[in-house]
Structure 1
Amino acid sequence: MQEGDSVGATIARIRKQQGLTQGVLARKANVGRSQLSTVENGAAASTVWIGSIAEALGVDASILYGDNEPQQAHDMLPILRRALAATDLIDPNLEPQPIADLADQIAKVARWRKDSQYAKVVAVLPDLVDSLLVSGSEDGEPAFALLTEAYRAANTVSHKMGFTDLSMTATERMEWAATRAGDPLLLATVYYVKAATLSRMGATKHALRLLNRAMSEIEYMVDEDGTAAAVYSILHMRAGTIAAATGDADASRSHLREAEILARHFGGDRIVYDTPVGPTAIDLYKVCAEVDLGEPGKAIAVAKGTQFPVNYPKERRGYFWLDTARAYLAAGQVDDAINALYESRIAAPEHFQRSSQAKNVIKTAAAQERRASTSLRSLANFAGVRD
């Protein structure tokens, strides 16, 4: 397996080329200097943290990952662009479909998105978006609510393929559709998604301001509405991980505590606005946050106590095991990290294969092993990491 091409090594190289010290780069990126040093020396970081560094260095995050996407990803690019094209140039001869049929199609797309079946999503998305845009003029708010979910699927695939510009366009389309759906909780969920997109681009301050605005807009509903409390909790969870990436432990843990308190109000694990909420979701965010805060022991303790409900979204399981692998690597437990990587691959194979973070964690594990094991080489080959 090739050495010297980890995210940390690439950051160090570009930093030095730009004449920046670790302290200067850390201040520009609004991250902790000690965490920067740790990553440059081989630790695996989250996508939000890497986004902040990329923005401070003035490069796209893909440069730091060293991504070389397979041809299939680039084949998807024109299809995604068509799905996200202008909202007012649809064929006037296109006949509207019954809203119930469109809802069934969106339910399938949402399931594929959560199960990381991205090729299936892309195959149907452009025509489905066109149909929903036509339906918007006929059925109004229900069609725009469905259209919001269609654009969310486009955002997910764009992000996984590494198309940052399309991911941002998709979240703008989501916001456009959600404002026409007449549902403030749906719009708040859009802000939850958009904050993630902004943070991956390094705009963490913008992301946190957006989340705070979203919370203020629905706060009046929380005490009387369990669904509102659930949406409020996901805003806190997102804010908790973004704050962790900036090294703000107090803010991160405060947001995650608020999410836990809210979970007692709306009950156990469930899906709200196509987003997992509840104790398990909070644990997943805690693992990610504690690793970024430099507390791998706390992250591992949470991970060991996490029990997934039946049929929990595969993509979320994949993320969880990648963050758990990061925690084990930070603790120097390479074998456990490799086991966690296998769990991530099993949970969501297509997500694992597409994930820049998976490639980064694999490279980090390889750097910690004197000789890459057969298990690690197998994972690397599956994820497309060059040998």
Structure 2
Amino acid sequence: MSTEQKPDGVGARVAEERKLIGWTQARLAAEANVSASLVKAVEQGRAPASPSFISACARALKVGVTALLEQPYPRETRSEQMVHAGIPDIRRELAVYRIPPDDIPPRELSELAVDVGRASKMRHMVNLGELGRLLPTLLHDLRVAWHSSEGHDRERIFGLLAETYAATSQVVYKLGYIDLASLAVDRYEWAAEQSGDELAVLVGDYQRAGEMIGVADWAGAERFLEGSRKAIEPELGKGNPATLAMWGNLHLKSGLAAARAGRRDTADAHLAEATETAARLGVDRDDYRLCFGPTNVRIWSVGLAVEMLDGTEAVKRSAKVQLPSGTPRERAGHHYIDLARAFLLHGDRTGALSSLQTARRIAPTQTRYHPMVHETVRALARQEARSTETLRGFAAWCGIGRA
């Protein structure tokens, strides 16, 4: 891609929205609390847009994040259409979540538990198409079950329903339906409250904080998560592994909020707390389908450095990341997407493209639809006088026509 070509991607849409309301680059920089040089670089396509830049600009311009990302991305092939095929039915189930279902007999609780476990496994494997087609039926069957139960069984069903809503929010988010993902988080919080499980409720707090971070309410997310941690702080001395894992995950999410806000010392402090907690556990766990342990903390350490735009530190931290064979593809793929961003910031274009190719091998659908992959590919293309055949092929696979 020639550097003279008109920029596309997030930068072009930020410029368009800015001009529609008559703002200069300097005005947008002031309103979004970012540097004017960064606004100029992103609009000109010389720098990729980071998640913090995107959410800050969206908030300042009063547009949705999806408007700047142009999500969901166009579906141009039958296979892409099939990946999205479950979305309309998911949307319907999220809409009727409290409506009594038709008078049909409920399935056995043990059968439902098996299917929910299968859905969560698909989520970790990033099998988005098959999972998207499974979820509507599973949500319906769980709705039948909780309307037909009482007591402990009813609480157990709500716990399974909450886990299914968590998988739902991840599927629709990864496919670019961000508002639908927010609705799934609402449904998760409702179901978790009905389950009577305090830690499940805190998983809802973890998700809610993610929603706040996504709309650039970083300080609010930090305050909210501080309150969440206080709810279980008195229990830490008992050493319950699930409680410790939740404590560590809440610190990691706080670290993300701080990193997006540019508060490096605070982000590092949260990372240190999570690292200490992971060392106390000594093993990787998957309580409430939130991975936590030494491996995930190291993965997060790389991602947090990338969020702070310190590619050199991120690459340095990545040397300590050893992914066990059982690492969920969702986490491993995300790690290599972050590592590609790290190498780009570090000035190693070869390392960036290699990391993207690794992410594609591990979790192809996640990589194909990840907006940071698109931004990284565009930045790589613009930094080269002529894009390599490998880069052009990767861009075409992602659906980026002008790389």
TM bin, normalised by shorter chain, reads over 0.9
Query: Distance in 2 between the 1:145 and 1:175 partners?
Result: 11
Per-residue deviation, residues 131-167 of structure 1 (Å, max 9, x unmatched): 1122224121111111011111111111112112211
Asked if structure 2 preserves the Cα contact closer than 8 Å seen for 1:259 and 1:282, the reply is yes
TM-superposed deviation, 1:174:
0.2
Structure 2 residue 320 is the aligned partner of structure 1 residue 316? no
Distance 1:329 1:27, change over 3 A: same
Q: Quote the residue 2:297 is aligned against.
A: 282
Selected match of 1:57 from 49, 61, 65: 61
Query: Distance in 2 between the 1:24 and 1:251 partners?
Result: 28
Query: Distance in 2 between the 1:376 and 1:75 partners?
Result: 29
Asked if structure 2 preserves the Cα contact closer than 8 Å seen for 1:233 and 1:258, the reply is yes
Distance 1:124 1:112, change over 3 A: same
Deviating beyond 4 angstroms after TM superposition, the runs of 4 or more aligned structure 1 residues are 21-24, 30-41
TM-superposed deviation, 1:16:
4.8
TM-superposed deviation, 1:336:
0.9
Which is worse superposed, 265-274 or 172-181? Answer: 265-274
Structure 2 residue 197 is the aligned partner of structure 1 residue 183? yes
Per-residue deviation, residues 219-265 of structure 1 (Å, max 9, x unmatched): 22222122211101111111111211111111111111111111122
Per-residue deviation, residues 263-296 of structure 1 (Å, max 9, x unmatched): 1222222212111111221122222221222311
Structure 2 residue 260 is the aligned partner of structure 1 residue 245? yes
Selected match of 2:130 from 120, 136, 152: 120
In structure 1, stretches of 5+ residues that fail to align are none
How many residues matched?
387
Q: Quote the residue 2:288 is aligned against.
A: 273
TM-score of the aligned structures, taking structure 1 as reference length: 0.93
Structure 2 residue 17 is the aligned partner of structure 1 residue 4? no
TM-superposed deviation, 1:125:
1.1
Q: Quote the residue 2:47 is aligned against.
A: 43
Structure 2 residue 387 is the aligned partner of structure 1 residue 378? no
Q: Which residues of 2 match residues 1-387 of structure 1 at below 5 A? A: 1=1, 3-20=6-23, 24-31=27-34, 36=39, 39-40=42-43, 42-67=46-71, 68-70=73-75, 72=81, 75-137=85-147, 138=149, 139-224=153-238, 225-387=240-402
Per-residue deviation, residues 80-115 of structure 1 (Å, max 9, x unmatched): 202212222232412111111111101110011111
Distance 1:202 1:80, change over 3 A: farther
Per-residue deviation, residues 7-66 of structure 1 (Å, max 9, x unmatched): 234334533554445554345335566665664553334435422321221122223224
Asked if structure 1 preserves the Cα contact closer than 8 Å seen for 2:285 and 2:291, the reply is yes
Query: Distance in 2 between the 1:49 and 1:282 partners?
Result: 24
Query: Distance in 2 between the 1:257 and 1:14 partners?
Result: 39
Give identity over the alignment, percent: 32
Distance 1:35 1:317, change over 3 A: farther
Asked if structure 2 preserves the Cα contact closer than 8 Å seen for 1:211 and 1:239, the reply is yes
Asked if structure 2 preserves the Cα contact closer than 8 Å seen for 1:147 and 1:177, the reply is yes
Query: Distance in 1 between the 2:257 and 2:326 partners?
Result: 27
Asked if structure 1 preserves the Cα contact closer than 8 Å seen for 2:101 and 2:143, the reply is no
TM-score of the aligned structures, taking structure 2 as reference length: 0.89
Asked if structure 1 preserves the Cα contact closer than 8 Å seen for 2:343 and 2:352, the reply is yes
CA RMSD of aligned residues (A): 2.2
Query: Distance in 1 between the 2:228 and 2:310 partners?
Result: 29
